[in-house]
Amino acid sequence: MARLVMHVDMDAFFAAIEQRDDPELLGKPVIIGAQPGGRGVVSTASYEARVFGVHSAMPISEAHRLCPDGIFLRPDFRRYKEASDGLMEILRSISPVVEPVGIDEAYVDIGGLGRLLGPPTEIGAETKRRVREQLSLTASVGIGPNRLIAKIASDRQKPDGLTVVAPEQVVAFLAPLPVGDMRGVGRKTVPILHRMGIRNIGDLQRRSLEELQGSLGANQARALHLQCQGISSDSVGHQQERKSISKETTFQVDERDFDVIRETLLVLACQVGRTARKEGLAGQKVTIKARLPGFVTYTRQRKLLEPTLGDLEIFRTGIELFKAAPFAKGPFRLVGIGIGDLVPESAAKPMLMADASERRAQRLYQVLDTIRDRHGEVISLGKPGKKRGG
């Protein structure tokens, strides 16, 4: 049976939920995260806010400068978790093999479902339809012969997109994309390829393996040679250009409030997870970084039992490291979080480990609920009186 993978990614998830629950917000630049004048970062910006250049993990002061008339809301993780649970439930109604990788993102194995649900385009359309009907939200869906293609495809027509790439279309689908869109092609490799006259993936497809080996390492040349044909290089064991993936943020004023630290780390962990998934990498190690006043910088790290590329697992491990550290009380000038000891995501875990990852997710969501509880009335900016199960 031919392998068929669907990648489902919700559009501007937190902001879309706020817009869904308060029609007054529809069509307006909505920015979820810290409050202007306060500290911390943007968690999610609606598409209307993105027009102003606002994006995730940007300091909130910067977002406010770019978009002074934006509507700034505190996150309400309980509602986001409900929508996330709803999404995963919908996906499990499509296929038994669902691998959540972010709060709003999952891979679904849809190989062998053709008889039941029709061709891939129909499976994708049906998924989007169920999400729209049951959650009143939109998702972008990509379908391809492997995760690499499915992931790139879901990103092609955001928001509310559906991109299906049949195995015989893979080469043509990849050809116009910039080489930087490939996994493991970063700041070091892009200039090397450009010097060789290779700008998009199509240019790469026309080069022989020997040519590439002249300018790149043997392993990387081989990985890119396969990848540009749409063959996921996961199994090749190529040398990673990246040694780690990390994100950090500097506070304008030294930060003492651990709730702000926690929320900031959550946003940064989601960024790390997103990058990891884009690159097809997982980390065996989670690292945190903290800079105290006077530029004393600390790092702490923990080896994981198995590599991860899940936002919430990265976040949870980071928070535990923070809490256990002697500098936990702050105040903080800068905090950061990242993953290291990178391996290809295929080495991370087989599809699926629903039970273990669900247990982990549950613990994490308890943490998220704690954040919400601590923030009390600020967070209940969400609709009063709207009853939601759970």
* Binding residues for Mg ion (CB under 5 A): 9-10, 104
The nearest distance, CB 366 to Mg ion, in angstroms, is 23
The nearest distance, CB 273 to Mg ion, in angstroms, is 11
Q: Which residues contact 42 (CB under 8 A, 6 or more apart)?
A: 31, 32, 33, 34, 54, 55, 56, 57, 58, 59, 60, 63, 267
Closer residue to Mg ion (CB): 99 or 104: 104
Closest CA to 7 of 143, 112, 120, 146: 143
Q: Which residues contact 58 (CB under 8 A, 6 or more apart)?
A: 41, 42
Closer residue to Mg ion (CB): 137 or 216: 137
HSE-up (13 A, CA, CB side) for residue 52? 21
> Is 82 part of the annotated catalytic residue set?
no
At position 12, the amino acid (one-letter code) is: A
Write down the catalytic residue from 18, 48, 99, 105.
Answer: 105
Q: What are phi and psi of 242, to 5 degrees?
A: -85, 140
The nearest distance, CB 358 to Mg ion, in angstroms, is 20
Closer residue to Mg ion (CB): 139 or 165: 139
The nearest distance, CB 126 to Mg ion, in angstroms, is 20
> Residue 315 in contact with residue 247, Cβ under 8 Å?
no
The nearest distance, CB 378 to Mg ion, in angstroms, is 24
Closer residue to Mg ion (CB): 131 or 290: 131
Closer residue to Mg ion (CB): 104 or 313: 104
The nearest distance, CB 158 to Mg ion, in angstroms, is 8
Q: Which residues contact 237 (CB under 8 A, 6 or more apart)?
A: 219, 344
Closest CA to 251 of 35, 38, 10: 38
3-state class (DSSP) for residue 344: strand
Closer residue to Mg ion (CB): 83 or 223: 83
Q: What are phi and psi of 110, to 5 degrees?
A: -115, 15
Closer residue to Mg ion (CB): 222 or 277: 277
The nearest distance, CB 11 to Mg ion, in angstroms, is 6
Q: Is 12 exposed, middle or buried (0-12, 13-18, 19+ CB in 10 A)?
A: buried
- Give Cα separations from 65 to 69, 112, 114, 267, 290 (angstroms): 9, 51, 50, 20, 26
Buried b (16+ CB within 10 A) or exposed e, 281-299: bbbbbbbbbbbbeeeeeee
Cα 286–318–91 angle (5° rounding)? 85
Tokens of 22: 């308060």
The set of catalytic residues is 105
